[in-house]
Amino acid sequence: MEIFRLPALTDNYIFLLSDAASQTAAVVDPAQPEPVLQQLEQLGATLTAILNTHHHADHVGGNRRLLQQFPEAVVYGGTEDRGRIPGQQVFLTEGDTVTFAQRTAQVYFVPGHTRAHIAYYFPPTEAGGWGELFCGDTLFAGGCGRLFEGTPSQMVDSLSKLRSLPDTTRIWCAHEYTLNNLKFALTVDADNRALQDRFNEVKSARRRGEATVPSTLGNEKRTNPFLRWDQPALQAAAKITDPVRTFARIRGMKDQF
C-alpha cells in the first residue's frame, strides 16, 4: 500500500492509498475531487473506497464528484454521522475493520472534534514496521482538533486510545497546522528540549516549503501538549492537577492563541 499526500484547499491534506498490484485506490477525506482525480489518472487506478473520518465539508467535499466518476466506490464513515456524509454506504463503529490492499484497518471511535469522528489505523505488516493512522482532525502534528461537538473528557478518552498505539505509528493528520501548533506548545511546555528542537526543525522545513505530515506517534508523545495532560510541566502551566481539566484548560488557551 503506497500513500500519496495531496494538498487541497488552503491547508488540507487528502491521502490516496494505492494498490499497484490491482490498480485500485482508496481515498481518505477527499476535501476536493480534482487532486484525487489527477492522481488516479497518473496511476491509472480505479477508486474503490472513500474513507471519511467525519462530516465536515473540508473532508467530504469531493465525495459526490468522485462517486460520479467511480459509481462503484464504497463510502465509509462513522455510524453516528448517518445523514451527514454524502454518499455514505457503510456505517462504522469502534472495533470494525476496513480492508484495502490486503491490509486491514482497525476503526477507532474518537469523538471530541465532532460527536461522530472515527479514525483508521493500519497496523504494521512486519515487526518493527510502520503503522499508519488516519486520524482526521482528532490528533494533529503538535496539536489536536477544536472541540466543536464533544467534551474535554471525550477528547481525552479519544486521544488516550491513539496515544496507546505503538510509537512507530505514522500520523497522517488532515491539516498543515504544525508550525502554529508548536509555537503554542512552547508557551505551555517551554523547557521541553525535544519540543524546542522540533520547533526549529519544523520552522526550517516550512521555510523550504516542505510538508510536516506525516508525524510519528513517538514524536507526538514527547512534544505534543495535547498528549501530555498527565505531565507535571503541563499541569503546572494549567495550574491544575486533574488530567481532564488540565487538557481543557490548555485547549482553551490554544483557542485564544
Fill in the DSSP letter of residue 189. Answer: -
Would you call the peptide bond into 243 cis, given omega within 30 degrees of 0 as the criterion? no
**Contact by Cβ (8 Å): 95, 72:** no
Catalytic residue positions, numbered: 54, 56, 58-59, 113, 137, 175
Whole-angstrom CA distances from 204 to 61, 146, 250 are 32, 26, 26
Q: Please name which of 160, 168, 158, 100 lies closest in space to residue 133, comparing C-alpha atoms.
A: 168
Helix (H, G, I), strand (E, B) or coil at 77: strand
Residues 94-128, buried b or exposed e (16+ Cβ, 10 A)? eebebebbeeebbbbbbbbbbbbbbbbbbbeeeee
User: What one-letter code names the amino acid at 250?
Assistant: I
Q: In what order do the strands lie in the sheet with 46-51?
A: 2-8, 12-19, 24-28, 46-51, 74-78, 90-92
Give the residue carrying C-alpha cell 522545513.
205
Residues 6+ apart with CB under 8 A from 58: 8, 9, 12, 31, 174
- Cα distances (angstroms) measured from residue 172 to each of 80, 133, 136, 213, 215: 23, 6, 8, 6, 7
Amino acid identity, position 25: A
